[in-house]
């Protein structure tokens, strides 16, 4: 039966339903905003942590490379009988060893005999095997530190990570690990540069 009251109830908007819709929208907006904020914070923290991690890894590999140098000098001093007073001379030929220039031609034998005239030549092969093993490890160490530096430089140079580092107090100073090469050997582990050509074979 039609009545005015029934028509009024049927056509009146349901305030409770509209309120729930608005509330759901607000909750969704809050969740979305929170997600964006958390995402931004996570990215910022991740970028800052990546910079620190890469910098620490470069420093650690740099120290490891220096330790490899010490190992090679130990081989020369103990197995080839080279006196400690010649450690500076060894530092000068070290880049040539890393480059593999002493693998053939007798250049290393000549250098050893010049610094230890009483060297037993029958031990030369043993010395070379030990040197070659450490040479490969050292070269891998230099390659690794170069890869780490390249990754660290990219992090600083790329627009968004670079902006994050600058804005949030990250370290944007690029690293300078020592890379010893056969063409740059002046004060090997001091500067990593030298134009002299040593140990010609």
Q: Is the pLDDT of residue 85 over 60?
A: yes
* Mean pLDDT over the full length of the chain: 82
Please report, for the chain, the start and end positions of each structural domain, with discontinuous segments joined by +: 4-191
Other residues' Cβ atoms within 10 Å of the Cβ of residue 65 = 23
* 11 pLDDT above the threshold of 70: no
What are 19-46's pLDDT values in tens digits?
A: 788 888 889 999 999 999 999 999 999 9
CB atoms within 10 A of CB 77: 16
Quote the distance between the C-alpha of residue 170 and its chain's center: 17
């Amino acid at each position: 039966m039609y009545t005015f009251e029934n028509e009024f109830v049927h056509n009146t908007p349901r305030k409770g339903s509209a309120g729930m819709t608005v509330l759901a929208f607000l909750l969704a907006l809050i969740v979305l905003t929170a997600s964006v904020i958390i995402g931004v914070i996570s990215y910022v923290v991740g970028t800052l942590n990546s910079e620190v991690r890469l910098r620490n890894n470069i420093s650690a590999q740099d120290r490891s490379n220096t330790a490899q140098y010490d190992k090679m000098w130990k081989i020369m001093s103990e197995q080839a009988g080279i006196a400690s007073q010649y450690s500076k001379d060894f530092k000068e030929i070290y880049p040539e060893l890393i480059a593999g220039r002493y693998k053939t031609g007798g250049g290393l034998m000549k250098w050893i005999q010049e610094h230890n005239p009483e060297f037993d030549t029958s031990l030369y092969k043993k010395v070379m095997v030990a040197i070659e093993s450490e040479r490969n490890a050292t070269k891998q160490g230099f390659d690794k530190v170069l890869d780490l530096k390249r990754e660290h430089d990219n992090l600083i140079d790329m627009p968004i990570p670079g902006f994050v580092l600058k804005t949030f107090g990250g370290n944007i100073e690029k690293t300078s690990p020592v890379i010893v090469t056969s063409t740059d050997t002046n004060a090997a582990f001091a500067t990593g540069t030298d134009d002299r050509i040593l140990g010609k074979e």
